[in-house]
Amino acid sequence: MSEPARLYLITPVVAEAGLFVSALTAALRAADVACVLLRTPAHDDGRRRKVAAALTPLVQEQGAALLLEDDTRAAAAVGADGVHLRGPGDDLDQALRSMKPDRIVGAGQLLTRDDAMMAGESGVDYLLFGDDAEVPPLDARVAHVAWWAEIFQVPCVAWAHSLDEVEPLATAGADFIALADAVWTDPRGPGAAVAAAAAVLEAVAQRASLAGSEQV
């Protein structure tokens, strides 16, 4: 069977680690999760580090990587696995210099092909297509992912805004599927949402393997 795309969870803005432990633990225990991108209050370095220091070990103990958003210093200070930067530019260049090769550096908010190619050529570990600020239509994200997966080697993460978007984005060739509110606001709970997404990814991989064997 082809390897399924893996899950990349994006937290809401977490101001108090203790209030989020239960939801995060349920999500991580429900299925294989590759990575958690931790979002913390902007412009509050002390709170960011406190939250990250509390949640980083929890994520890592479950076998997932913990990334911080836009803060290389805090990532290094708390032992996080890396950092996620929004878009190409000086901040991304600085993160690559300070964190590679020991830690992960990813880039997002890549709304054009030129942005994606610029970030891909910089040496990042992955690209994230999609965002919660400006949301391209699903068909545009699918086309973007398919274009990247066909031509480039750098892994791509596709942001799914609902569980219904997981299948088309994985089928298009995404290496990872990013889920945010679709997990944390699911009325069944985050564990059930993650398990459902993982089942979809498994089914997509099985279909891809079957299609490949039929072509041999």
pLDDT in tens, 20-35: 999 999 999 999 999 9
Residue 64 counted as domain residue = yes
pLDDT given at position 169: 97
| Max intra-chain CA distance, the chain | 57
Q: Where residue 57 sits, what CATH number does that domain have?
A: 3.20.20.70
- Residue 90 in any domain: the answer is yes
Question: If you average pLDDT over residues 53-70, what whole number do you get?
Answer: 96
Residue 37 forms part of a structural domain: yes
Question: What is the token pair recorded at 4?
Answer: 């399924």
How many other CB atoms sit within 10 Å of the CB of residue 164? Answer: 11
Residue 94 vs residue 66, higher pLDDT: 66
Residue 155: is its pLDDT beyond 90?
yes
* Within a domain: 1: no
Q: Is the predicted pLDDT of residue 111 greater than 90, yes or no?
A: no
Does any domain span residue 165? yes
- Taking residues 87-100, what's their average pLDDT? 84
Q: Supply the pLDDT for residue 159.
A: 94
Mean pLDDT of the 26-49 span: 93
Span 174-180, average pLDDT = 97
Q: Which residue has the higher pLDDT, 197 or 134?
A: 197
Give yes or no for residue 44 having a pLDDT over 90: no
Q: Provide mean pLDDT across the span 117-128.
A: 92
What's the structural domain count of the chain? 1
Tell me whether residue 127 is in a domain.
Answer: yes
Rounded Cα–Cα distance for residues 89 and 19 (Å): 34
For residue 62, what are the domain limits?
6-215
Instruction: State residue 4's pLDDT score.
Output: 86
Question: Of how many residues is the chain composed?
Answer: 216
Q: Where are the beta strands (DSSP E) in 130-168?
A: 156-160
**Region of residue 104 (phi > 0: left; psi between -120 and 50: alpha; otherwise: beta):** beta
Task: Indicate the average pLDDT of the chain.
Answer: 91
